[in-house]
Amino acid sequence: MASKAVKTFITPLGKENPVFVQILGICSTLAVTNKLENTIVMVLGVIFTTTLSSFTFSILRKVIPARIRMMVETLIIATFVIIVDIALKAYMPEIWQQLGPYVGLIITNCIVMGRMEAFAASNPPGLSLIDGLASGVGYAYVLVIIAFFRELLGSGTIWGFSIFGEWWTNWAIMIMPPGAFFMLAIFIWVVKGRVAE
Amino acid sequence: MKKTSFFSERIKPVIIMAVITIICIALVSGIHLSTQDLVIANEGLVLKKAVLFSAGVNLPEANSEINSLYDDRVEQKGDVFIVSGSSGGIAAYAFIAAGPGLWGEIEAVTAFKADLKTFAGVDFIKQNETPGLGARITEDWFREQLRDRQPPLVMNPEGTESSDAAEIDAITGASRTSEFVLSIFNDAGVRAAELKKEGM
């Protein structure tokens, strides 16, 4: 049991990472990674949602008839995402404003529903919780790494603090969506081409 | 094949779906209602901060101090906020100026000095510009450069830092956003001239 839990946690971090192996959740990977601060808030929202959605759905999995399975999944995800949205609006209004529509779009993040379908629907709640958490963390660290380099090269700052100083010319391309494509491609190349071998 | 009854095939899914929906709605509504006051207070605070900042008043740290300072110094007349100076008299007239942005509407609070010709300052209360590019309109250097400027304004490349009262710096890489905010500022100048005619 313990070893199965460990395996469940480790697999989504590397071998079956949702972002660089399964290439899921790319839209938000591209959209929110131009500032580290926004990225951290976004990935915490995703970790919260994917953990609790998988857990909740796993509890309900034997009660729910197969034909309404997907409706229930969407409903559960939407509920948790709206909770994140309201919490941000109330307690972190400035970050909520900057993230704009992206928090709501966690609902359509394929990782969340994908893990419910692929794992929580056929596994007990405890393991589903671990799987949801690990998938969220697997998504999170990739985004944080990409955001780190995009903010550093695009704005010359980390977490809003100036790193390079005055002489640095900002790479505007890194701030814009194409910059995320380049960063993600380089990341996948490094991880799959170099590390995996 | 196992024969399924009409109930378990048709009715049960509907009932289960309805029950889960009601639970989810109750949960979300409950959280929404319990944080509603805080959200409204936050929105009010954003506007209060913007009015005081644009009028050139130094902002205290604590939210309660901002509220009491605002109550002390600001009087709202129609949609114009009249900000008084620390030693009495009128320091600035502030009003909300809005216009299109690159991704969504931009709303700014623009404040003019008592002559209604010179900017006291500006602050942005709503914008969806590209983070790192257009969204840099909310950075201090961009907002601060409006102080003591006189519209109609023209824009120079970023880093020019002209001392001419009719010139401000644009943002490199965000030409469209710069044009949009420039027109908001200049429209605000027209509005201020109208207020003067109305005898403000």
Q: pLDDT, tens digit, for every residue of B14-34?
A: 999 999 999 999 999 999 999
CB-based contact, A175 to chain B, within 8 Å: yes
Please report, for residues A9, A10, A71, A138, the alpha-carbon distance to residue A16 in angstroms, rounded to integers and kept in the order given. Answer: 11, 9, 26, 9
Secondary structure (3-state) at B187: helix
Q: Are B149 and B165 in contact (CB under 8 A)?
A: yes
pLDDT for A38 equals 86
ipTM of the predicted structure?
A: 0.79
CB contact under 8 A, A60 and B172: no
Most confident of A13-17, A82-86, B162-166: A82-86
**Residue A3 pLDDT class (50, 70, 90 cuts):** confident
Secondary structure (3-state) at B168: strand
Per-residue pLDDT at B120 exceeds 70: yes
State how many domains chain B has: 1
Q: Residue B109: count other Cβ atoms within 10 Å of its Cβ.
A: 25
Average model confidence (pLDDT) across chain A: 88
pLDDT for A156 equals 86
Please name the member of B16, B35, B132 whose beta carbon is closest to the beta carbon of A86.
B35
Q: What is the mean pLDDT of residues A41-67?
A: 93
| Torsion region of B78: left, alpha or beta (phi above 0 gives left; psi -120 to 50 gives alpha) | left
Residue of B nearest to A99 (CA): B128
**Distance separating alpha carbons of residues B110 and B56, to the nearest angstrom:** 11
Nearest to A44 by CA among A118, A143, A187: A143
Q: Are A102 and A32 in contact (CB under 8 A)?
A: yes
pLDDT for A76 equals 94
| Domain-located, residue B126 | yes
CB contact under 8 A, B133 and A38: no
Nearest to B91 by CA among B64, B116, B108: B116
**Residue A191 pLDDT class (50, 70, 90 cuts):** confident
Q: How many A-B residue pairs are in contact by the CB < 8 A criterion?
A: 73
Residue ranges covered by each domain of chain A: 18-195
CB contact under 8 A, B16 and A64: yes
**Which residue out of B20, B129, B139, B176 would a mutagenesis test of the A interface target, given it has the greatest number of A Cβ atoms within 10 Å?**
B20
Amino acid at B81: F
**Residue B59 pLDDT class (50, 70, 90 cuts):** confident
| Domain-located, residue B153 | yes
Please report the residues numbered 67 through 86 in chain A whose beta carbons come closer than 8 angstroms to any beta carbon of chain B. 67-68, 71-72, 75-76, 78-79, 82-83, 86
Q: Are A75 and A136 in contact (CB under 8 A)?
A: no
| Domain-located, residue B93 | yes
Handedness of CA B59, B67, B40, A82 (dihedral sign): positive
List pLDDT tens digits, range A110-138. Answer: 899 999 999 999 999 999 999 999 999 99
Q: What is the mean pLDDT of residues B106-118?
A: 92
Per-residue pLDDT at A2 exceeds 80: no
Residue of A nearest to B20 (CA): A72
pLDDT for A1 equals 59
| Domain-located, residue B74 | yes
pLDDT for A27 equals 80
Min Cα–Cα distance to chain A from B197, Å = 37
Please name the member of A72, A97, A154 whose beta carbon is closest to the beta carbon of B17.
A72
CB-based contact, A151 to chain B, within 8 Å: yes
Nearest to A65 by CA among B89, B108, B20, B148: B20
Min Cα–Cα distance to chain B from A41, Å = 15
Amino acid at B29: S
Please report the residues numbered 144 through 183 in chain B whose beta carbons come closer than 8 angstroms to any beta carbon of chain A. 172-173
**Residue A194 pLDDT class (50, 70, 90 cuts):** low
What are the contacts of A126-131 at 24+ separation with CB within 8 A?
Answer: A126/A5, A127/A4, A127/A5, A127/A8, A127/A58, A128/A54, A128/A55, A128/A57, A128/A58, A129/A51, A129/A54, A129/A55, A129/A58, A130/A5, A130/A8, A130/A9, A131/A8, A131/A9, A131/A12, A131/A54
pLDDT for A195 equals 61
Q: What is the mean pLDDT of residues A79-84?
A: 94
**Residue A16 pLDDT class (50, 70, 90 cuts):** confident
Min Cα–Cα distance to chain B from A1, Å = 31
pLDDT for A149 equals 92
Per-residue pLDDT at A101 exceeds 80: no
Element holding B42 (H helix, E strand): helix B12-54
pLDDT for B105 equals 92
Per-residue pLDDT at B2 exceeds 70: no
| Domain-located, residue B31 | no
Per-residue pLDDT at B3 exceeds 70: no
Range name among A44-53, A153-162, B107-116 with the lowest pLDDT average:
A153-162
Query: pTM score > 0.90 for this model?
Result: no
Q: What is the CA radius of gyration of chain B?
A: 24
For β-strands B167-169 and B154-156, DSSP reports them as parallel
List pLDDT tens digits, range B151-190. Answer: 889 999 988 888 888 899 999 888 999 999 999 999 999 9
**Residue A197 pLDDT class (50, 70, 90 cuts):** low
Q: What is the mean pLDDT of residues A17-44?
A: 86
Min Cα–Cα distance to chain A from B200, Å = 34
Q: Compute, in degrees rounded to 10, the torsion defined by CA atoms A126, A129, A133, A139.
A: 120
CB-based contact, B126 to chain A, within 8 Å: yes
Helices A125-155 and A110-118, interaxial angle, to 10°?
160
Average model confidence (pLDDT) across chain B: 89
CB contact under 8 A, B27 and A79: yes
**Distance separating alpha carbons of residues A46 and A173, to the nearest angstrom:** 26
Which domain does B165 fall in, by range? 49-197
